[in-house]
Amino acid sequence: MLKVENINTYYGDSHILQDVSLEVHLGEIVVLLGRNGVGKTTTLKSIMGIEPPKTGKILYKGEEITGNQPYQNVQKGLAIIPEDRRIIPNLTVEENLKLGILHKKKKLNVAERFDMVYQYFPKLKLRVNQMGESLSGGEQQMLTIARAMVSKPDLMMIDEPTEGLAPLIVEEIGEILRRLQRDGATILLVEQNYQVSLSLSDNLRAYILEKGQIKLSGTSEELHACQDEVERCLGVKL
């Protein structure tokens, strides 16, 4: 579904992503792991067109999307859920969701999609008329996932959805991701928390980034087999 081929992305002079390649197949959950600052977020931004790569190719459903504007990629069915959530503070919860579905307003039944999203996130339904800025961190995280889901994207790129949240909320978000996965969503997930991400699905694949390069990749079993190497890359004891 998504194929990234040897992309190189720079911030000014610094070479952030070095020949990064990865693949995501339909219905799969793929996790991008790595320490802080190795280029996980930049990978998502490059795919989305926020920080387009200088060289390399990004193919989505067989079509090259390298260098596209973010809005074009979203219209093709990609969605990004940024780590800083980016809820529009001066819009209500409902307006934030509406903003997420505007580009597909004609193709989708808006009321139906809203109902679906509120089923996932009953808490948001209680807050429809509240301003985005008044939500708690956990609620904002839910809204940012909901805002992406509402337009029925084919591939969701989720950046550190559990960062900075209380354990109980982390559990809740994990449950949401598992449910999404069961409902057939395709997900590319950036996550610091190795355990959380491995608990999401029995058959997930992961890539481990180190200093802008893919160091390891494989299914959860394959990674389990080379645990020492994984521990070294992530800087944690498993």
Partner 1 sequence: MELTWEIIILQIIMGLALGAIYVILASGLSIIFGLLDVLNFAHGTFYMLGAYAVFVAISLCGNFWIAMVSAIVIVALLGGLFEITLLKRLYGTEPIYPLLLCFGFSIFMPDVIKLIFGLVGKVVEYPKIFQGAAFVGTLILPKYRIFLVVLMGVVLLALWLFMNKTDIGMIIRAATRDRLMVSCLGINVSRVWTVGFMLGVGLAALAGVIAAPMVQTIPNMGDEMTVESFVVVVIGGLGSLGGAVLGGLLLGQVVSFVSFLYPDWSNVAIFMAMAVILVVRPRGLFGEEGRA
CB-based burial label for 109 (10 Å; 0-12, 13-18, 19+): exposed
Q: Please choose, out of 91-99, 164-172, 197-205, 216-224, the segment that lies near partner 1 by the rule CB under 8 A.
A: 91-99
**CB of 54 or CB of 105, closer to partner 1:** 105
**Looking at 151, 181, 197, 217, which residue binds partner 1 (CB under 8 A)?**
151
**CB of 100 or CB of 212, closer to partner 1:** 100
What does the alpha-carbon distance between residue 146 and residue 211 come to, in Å, rounded to a whole number? 32
**CB of 151 or CB of 181, closer to partner 1:** 151
Give start and end residues of each alpha helix (H) in the chain.
Answer: 40-48, 70-76, 93-101, 110-120, 122-125, 137-149, 167-182, 194-198, 220-225, 227-234
Q: What is the DSSP letter of 236?
A: -
Which contacts qualify for 162-166: CB closer than 8 Å, 24 or more apart? 162/191, 162/193, 162/196, 163/83, 163/192, 164/137, 165/137, 165/138, 165/141, 166/138
**CB of 82 or CB of 212, closer to partner 1:** 82
Print the binding letters for residues 98-117 with partner 1: x by CB under 8 A, - otherwise.
Answer: xxx-xxxx------------
Q: Tell me, by CB under 8 A, how many residues bind partner 1.
A: 24
**Looking at 1, 59, 88, 131, which residue binds partner 1 (CB under 8 A)?**
88
Phi, psi at 134, each rounded to 5°: -90, 0
Q: How far is the CB of 71 from partner 1 (least distance, A)?
A: 5
Residue entry with tokens 């390891």? 216
Q: How far is the CB of 80 from partner 1 (least distance, A)?
A: 5
**CB of 50 or CB of 128, closer to partner 1:** 50
**Number of other residues whose CB lies within 10 A of the CB of residue 56:** 18
Phi, psi at 176, each rounded to 5°: -60, -45
**CB of 48 or CB of 208, closer to partner 1:** 48
Q: Which of residues 18-77 bind partner 1 (CB under 8 A)?
A: 48, 50, 69-71, 74-75
Q: Please choose, out of 23-31, 53-61, 81-89, 178-186, the segment that lies near partner 1 by the rule CB under 8 A.
A: 81-89
Which spans of this chain sit near partner 1 (rule: CB under 8 A)?
48, 50, 69-71, 74-75, 80, 82, 86, 88-91, 95, 98-100, 102-105, 147, 151
